[in-house]
Every structure is written in C-alpha cells, then in structure tokens.
Structure 1
C-alpha cells in the first residue's frame, strides 16, 4: 500500500531523517512511535508532500508520489489529520466538512451520511463554528473531514493528544471500525503505549531519525519499549 525507500530529510544543515525504508501493508493499522523530536511528524509531512525530502522515494498503490503535490496525493486516496487538527475555527462544522469534497474523485457534492453516522456529535453541531467545539469534538471533526475524501489510507498525527479519556476511547473505536470493517489502512503517530497496543496491528519506531525497530504489535516487547520509548 505505502512504501518508503531511502528517505532522507534535512532542516538546513541538520539531518532529520536517515535512510528510512518502511512499508505499510494494506489493511493494517500501523503505529509510528518514538520519543519527542525524533522525526515522526516530519516523516508524515514528507509522505504527504508538505515537506520536500532530499533523497528517496514515496510509493502509494504502486505509484511514485515524488512529483505529486499534496492535493494530488489526497486525490489518490490519502487522508491526513495533522497534529493540532488544523480545522477552520470560524467555519461551521458543515462548512469544514464540505471543504474536503473538492478533493474527491467522484465530484460528490454532499457530505456522505456515514460521516455523521460515525460521529453523531458532528451532526448535532453541524451549524456551530469549529472553534466553539471541545478538543475532542475538533479531533472528530478533523478525522471526519479526512474521511470525506473517501481515502484508502488514513494518516493520523497524534489523534489522542490533549483529548479527554472518554473521547480517546471513542477515537480508538472509530479507528478500529475504519480498519476492520471498512478496510481503510491506517498510519498513526501515537505516544500512548496502551492505545497503540489496543488498536494497532503493526509498529515502527524512530530514534534520532532512524528506523530502529518494527514488527507486529505483539512483538513490541518491554525491552524494545525500554530501549527506544522510555523517557
């Protein structure tokens, strides 16, 4: 589904990502993990074309994305929810969702009903401004907006950050439904180890910009956690 080969990225003279080779298998829920500042968000932005990479290739569904702009990657079927959500606070919930319709291949003009089925709170609050929602509701709005694109791959950058515990569980169950029932492949950055173990199928760990461990989530041992994730 998604294949990264020899990815290197720099900020000025600082080498941020080092020779990353990584594969996300179709139908999986892969968790990208690592301590703060190791390059996780930078990696996602390179995948989405929001940041240029120095060398390497990004492949999605056997297409090389290197020359594709972010909008083109979205139209190919990649949904992206950035860290901090980045909704439009002055637009209504409904307007936030409708913005994503322009990225659909089928030119659909209305919000798919399953978005509101999955997030009933968005239907109840569809005429409220995005900035008036709670943090958890804004996260649901951000995920819903990405799903309006009808993605094959959904990328989530720390979807549980700053979210109240009851909404964290709701978001986890939505991810499980998207992955298991709808067949959407998921790649998420997540710091909460119990959340990753509950909802991910695979893990990939970055340390100082390098891929240092990966495997099925059942292979994420305490020794690996102690070596690469413990603060």
Structure 2
C-alpha cells in the first residue's frame, strides 16, 4: 500500500528525516510513535505532499507519488487529518464536509451517508458553524471530512490530543471499524499507548528522524517504551 524508501527531508540546514524507510501493509493500521520532535509530523506531511523530500521515493499503490501535489495525492486516495484538526471555523459542519467532494474521482456531489452513520453528532449539528463545536466534535468533523474523499489510506496526526475520554473511545471504535470492516488502511501518530495498542496492528518507532524499531503492536515491549519514549 505505502512504501517509503530512504527519504531525506530538511528544514533549512536541519536534517529532519534521515534515510527513512517504512512499509505499511494494505488493510493494516500502523502507529508511528516516538518522543516529541523526532519527525513524526514531518513524515506525515512528506507523505501527503505538504513538505517536499530531498531524495528517496514514496510509493502508493505501486505508483511513485514523490513529486505529486497534495491535491493529486488526495485524488489518488490519501486522506489526511492534521494535528490541530484545521477545520474551517466559520463554515458549517455540512460545508466543511462538502469541501472534500471536489477531490473525489467519482464526482459525487453529496455527503456519503456513512459519514453521518459513523459520526451521528455531525448530522445533528450539520448547520452549526465548525468553530462552535467542542474539541471532540471538531475532531470527528476533521475525520469525517477526510473520509468524504473515500480514501484508500487514512492518515491521522494525534487524533486523541485534547479530546475527552468518551470521544476518544468513539474515535477508536470508528478507526477499528473502518480498518477491520471496510479494509481501510490507516497510519496514525499517537502518544497514548493504550489507544495505540487498542487500534493498531503494527508500530513504527521513530528516533531522530529514523525508524529504529518496528513490529506487531503486541511486540511493543516495556524495554522499547523505556528506551524511546521515557523522558
């Protein structure tokens, strides 16, 4: 599904991603974990085309997307929910969702019913402005907006950050359902290990711009957590 081969990325003179390679299996849920500042968000932005890579290659469904625009990658089937959600606060919930319709290859012009099935609160609040929603509701809106694309790969950057526990549970249920019932491939950054262990199949441990350990999520040992996550 997603194959990243020895990519390098720089901010000015700072070498952020260092010959990083990663393979995400089709239909799996992979979790990127690591301390703050190790390059997790930079990697996600490089996959989505928001940041250019210096060299290396990013393949998606067997095609090299390394030089495609963000819009072209969205049309190819990559949905992205950034850290902080980035919804449009002055637009209604319905208008926020409809924005993604333009990137659908099938030219669908209405919000798929699945979005409201997964997130009923969005239907009940579809005429309210996005900025009037709670943090948890905004996160559901951001995920719903990405799903309107009908993506093959859903990328989420810390989807539980600042969210109340009951909504965290609901978001976890949605990710599991999309992944296991619909076969949607998922890649997420997550700091909460209980959440990661619940939803993910595989983990990718990052340190200083590199992948330093990978494996099935049940292989994420206390020793690895102490080595790469403890402060």
TMscore range, shorter length: over 0.9
For structure 1, list consecutive stretches of 5 or more residues without a partner in the other structure: none
How far has the Cα of 1:229 moved from its partner?
1.1
Partner of 2:46: 46
Deviation at 1:109, TM superposition (A): 0.5
TM-score, normalised via structure 1 length: 0.99
Partner of 2:220: 220
Q: CA deviation at 1:226?
A: 0.6
- Does 2:29 match 1:29? yes
Question: Where does residue 90 of structure 2 map in the other structure?
Answer: 90
The residue number in structure 2 matching 1:189 is 189
SS of the equivalent of 2:173 reads: helix
User: 1:86-135 deviations in whole A, cap 9, x for unaligned?
Assistant: 00000000000000000000000000011001100000000000000000
Structure 1 residues 149-182: Cα deviation after superposition (integer angstroms, max 9, x where no partner):
0001000000000000110000000000000001
Aligned residues: 231
Provide the rounded CA distance (Å) in 2 between the counterparts of 1:180 and 1:107: 26
For structure 2, the residue ranges without an aligned partner over 5 or more in a row are: none
State the distance in 2 between where 1:218 and 1:36 align: 23
Q: What are the within-5 Å matches in structure 2 for residues 108-187 of structure 1?
A: 108-187=108-187
SS class of match (1:73):
helix
Q: Cα deviation per residue 1:185-226 (whole Å; 9 max; x = unaligned)? A: 000000001100111000001111111100110110100111
Q: Which residue of 1 aligns with 2:211?
A: 211
Normalised to the residue count of structure 2, the TM-score between the two structures is 0.99
Q: Whole-Å Cα distance in 1 between the matches of residues 222 and 147 of structure 2? A: 34
| Distance of 1:219 and 1:113 partners within structure 2 | 37
